[in-house]
């Protein structure tokens, strides 16, 4: 999030806080362009954690702007033509104006929750895997997730935790699940019914799908299926939002 000048001395780069990086350590960083690093007392370490829970490797990858989260090498954000922060902004704007109480069903690095919290009264964000939050704690772009007073984190499966939410509790919902192959239950009619139940009258839901352009093939098919199930679950109108790569569903 910042750029600093560093001193070069006898083959070392000395960071502003005084910690040195040797030429070998710098070469190690440069040779891993898909990795973000934390510099500790014993040198640089890739920001990555293996999750025993789902047997996947979670890591932080740099972009031109905010880093993205990789899960087994797959990016959890759009990074073509937009950085992950801009991706989050587009998702939130899809259901603007965002005010009152907001539900974010998939925390990830927290970018969506942070963006929604700029104007919302309060954001409740849910994350099933604590490993995501551990990665987020090492990411400066995620800092507000842990510092904002109007963000509440819920660690648990959203398909279960949502049953604890009251009827018509939220004015806006941002549903940005992992891919269908990774989290099929979050695309189910039953979960959509729960989303409809906790949404206020005249509330709106944004559902990220991916590139839903007709030429995108599989994503377009997933979008059609999601539109049908959202209507079956009680949403009266569902429209495409190509700019944010998803759907906007209206309760009434």
Q: What is the per-residue pLDDT across 41-60, written as a single tens digit (0 to 9) for each?
A: 899 999 999 999 889 999 99
Q: Could you give the residue range(s) of every CATH 3.40.50.150 domain in the chain? A: 77-250
Q: Length of the chain in residues, anyone?
A: 252
Burial 70-106 (b: 16+ CB within 10 A, else e): bbeeeebbbbeebbbbbbbbbbbebbeebeebbbbbb
Phi-psi region of 43 (alpha: psi -120 to 50; beta: other; left: phi over 0): left
Q: What is the per-residue pLDDT across 107-150, written as a single tens digit (0 to 9) for each?
A: 999 999 999 999 999 999 999 999 999 999 999 999 999 999 99
CA 159 to chain centre: 17
Q: What is the per-residue pLDDT across 187-210, written as a single tens digit (0 to 9) for each?
A: 999 999 999 999 999 999 999 998
Q: What is the per-residue pLDDT across 73-88, written as a single tens digit (0 to 9) for each?
A: 999 998 888 999 999 9
Say if CB 133 and CB 111 are below 8 A apart: no
The CATH superfamily of 77-250 is: Vaccinia Virus protein VP39 (3.40.50.150)
* pTM of model > 0.75: yes
d(CA 132, CA 187): 21
Q: What is the per-residue pLDDT across 3-34, written as a single tens digit (0 to 9) for each?
A: 888 888 888 998 888 888 999 999 999 999 99
């Amino acid at each position: 999030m910042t750029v600093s000048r560093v001193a070069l001395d006898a083959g070392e780069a000395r960071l502003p806080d005084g910690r040195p990086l040797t030429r070998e350590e710098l070469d190690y960083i440069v040779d891993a362009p898909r990795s973000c690093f934390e510099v500790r007392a014993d040198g640089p370490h890739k920001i990555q954690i293996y999750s025993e829970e789902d047997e996947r490797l979670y890591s932080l990858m740099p972009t031109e702007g905010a880093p993205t989260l990789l899960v087994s090498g797959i990016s959890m954000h759009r990074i073509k033509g937009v950085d992950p922060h801009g991706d989050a902004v587009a998702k939130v704007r899809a259901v603007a104006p965002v005010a009152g109480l907001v539900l974010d069903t998939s925390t990830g690095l927290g970018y969506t929750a942070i963006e929604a919290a700029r104007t919302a009264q309060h954001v409740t964000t849910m994350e099933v895997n604590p490993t995501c939050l551990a990665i987020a704690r090492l990411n400066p772009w995620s800092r507000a997730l842990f510092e904002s007073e109007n963000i509440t984190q819920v660690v648990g499966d959203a398909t279960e935790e949502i049953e604890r939410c009251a009827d018509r509790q939220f004015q806006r919902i941002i549903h940005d699940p992992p891919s269908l192959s990774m989290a099929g239950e979050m695309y189910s009619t039953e979960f959509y019914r729960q989303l409809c139940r906790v949404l206020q009258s005249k509330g709106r839901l944004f559902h990220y799908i991916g590139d839903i352009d007709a030429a995108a093939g599989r994503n377009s098919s997933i979008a059609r299926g999601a539109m049908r199930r959202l209507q079956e679950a009680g949403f009266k109108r569902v429209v495409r939002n190509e700019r944010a790569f998803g759907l906007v569903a209206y309760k009434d």
